[in-house]
Chains A and B, each alone.
Chain A
Amino acid sequence: MARRTAPVDDWSRDFDVLDAGYIENPFTIWDELRQTCPIAHTDRRGSTWLPTRYEDITAMAHDIESFSSLEVGVIAVEGEEPEENLLPYGLPPISVDPPVHTWTRRLLLPWFSHRRVESYEAMTRDLCVGLVDSFLANGHADAAENYAQQIPVRVIAHILGVPADLADTFTGWVRDFLEFADDEERRMKAAEGLFTYFVAELASRREHPGTDLLSELLRAEEGGAPVEDSIILGMAGLVLVAGVDTTWSAIGSSLWHLATHEADRERLAAEPELLPVAIEELLRAYSPVTMARLVTADVDFKGCPMKAGDKLLMSFPAANRDPAVFADADRVILDRQHNRHVAFGSGIHRCAGSNLARMELKVALQEWLRRIPEFRLAEGAEVMWAGGQVRGPRVLPVVFS
């Protein structure tokens, strides 16, 4: 992805999360900021703050009075957005504060409970087996495009009750919406496509109700009245947008780590019982998601003069590399015992799909390692990373015997 961003000279006063160097290796930048200026600022794309310490990021995530979720997109988009008229609440519950947050979240959470997620495990496993089958004999694959990218979108389609053969279309919309959010035209077109599709799906569920999430939301009531269509559409949009490239990025980053760290790959292949703990460590070290917050009123936060309307980037990935909380923070320790990572956020907006993400990551790694225990980056491979709201590899050529 060739983006043109002005070079950054001073990361403390003029940072840019779309800088190519930051997308590829934000870790050294965070390390330096934590020591010199732990809450950085920029005026690029509006006045924005970037805390890098675990303590500050988790405190801000819990202070929902000062830091609102009414704007959670990392990339601010100028101009009129089509989804704003259609979706006055955005994509609830992620884009709202209580009280709307509270009841929309209660409607969504049971779909991603442990019990429900267990019921999606068999189809996820079949999917992963089929994907490995499709490239195993070749001796090489793009672990991002041919594997990681193909998994979550199909599981989410299953939950939403929409056809899995639209997976590529969904993937395109989600990438345009999040990854290419700074391309206004591309983002608007994707938002339009996505919501036009769900408007039609909603109409057809009204005629022929099923047992999927969309049908259940149409049956739901809040305060004795049916839930507004705009909220149902927003929730459906959220499940798709938040459930796809986030998890695919976590799967891709984990495979990148194993492809480039032979000892860890050998250990995980030899000790599959280590997987639950190892997954938490991989989530810590390569957390994909950064969320934004809106400063609600002028406030001095640890000497930073934040103004109402300023934006805050909750870099959970940076929190998870803070050496004040994690010993040897920049090293992956597969059996790390003390690991209060916040890859899924912290506080009331904890990722609603975290159980699902964890199951998909587990099954994806299990099925890959079972069939392909030995693999490495292809000779001369050019790995391409995406960043901004969600960080993960988009091109990841690997070879295996």
Chain B
Amino acid sequence: MRIRVDPDKCQGHARCYALVPELFSVDDYGLSSVVGDGSVPHQLEDKARLAVANCPEYAIEEVTD
């Protein structure tokens, strides 16, 4: 599983970081990006889905290769 944050949609709510700090980092303005290339370790897949389903701006999506 791989995820990405759309920088055009992200408004810095940082809900993803609050819920799953293992997978996201946020800058001083709240804008979020994925850690590394966005690959999600198997044991964190449920938490990645939680982040996707909690983003109020629909900015996080699962990448299908």
Contacts and interface: CB of A to CB of B under 8 A. Distances in A.
Q: Do A and B come from one complex?
A: yes
A115 interface: yes
B64 to A, nearest CB: 20
B11 A350 contact: yes
Contacts of A339: 53-54
B14 to A, nearest CB: 6
Interface in A6-50: none
Given A110-B29, A113-B28, A277-B19, A350 B13 contact: yes
B53 to A, nearest CB: 4
A109 B29 CA distance: 5
B56 A115 contact: no
Contacts of A109: 12, 28-30
Q: How large is the interface on B (under 10, 10 to 19, 20 to 34, 35 or more residues)?
A: 20 to 34
Interface stretch (A155-163, A235-243, A341-349): A341-349
Interface residues of A, number: 24
Chain B contact residues: helix, strand, loop or mixed: loop
B18 interface: yes
A339 B54 CA distance: 5
Interface in A47-72: 58
A340 interface: yes
Interface string A105-143: 010011001110000000000000000000000000000
B16 to A, nearest CB: 11
Nearest to B10: A350
A57 to B, nearest CB: 11
B41 to A, nearest CB: 19
Interface in A334-366: 337-342, 344, 346-348, 350, 354-355, 358
Given A340-B56, A342-B56, A355 B28 contact: no
Contacts of B49: 337
Contacts of B54: 280, 338-340
Given A338-B53, A342-B56, A346-B56, A115 B11 contact: no
A175 B38 CA distance: 45
Contacts of A348: 11
B50 interface: yes
A58 to B, nearest CB: 8
14 contacts: A109-B12, A109-B28, A109-B30, A113-B29, A113-B30, A114-B26, A276-B18, A280-B54, A346-B56, A350-B11, A354-B13, A354-B30, A355-B14, A355-B18
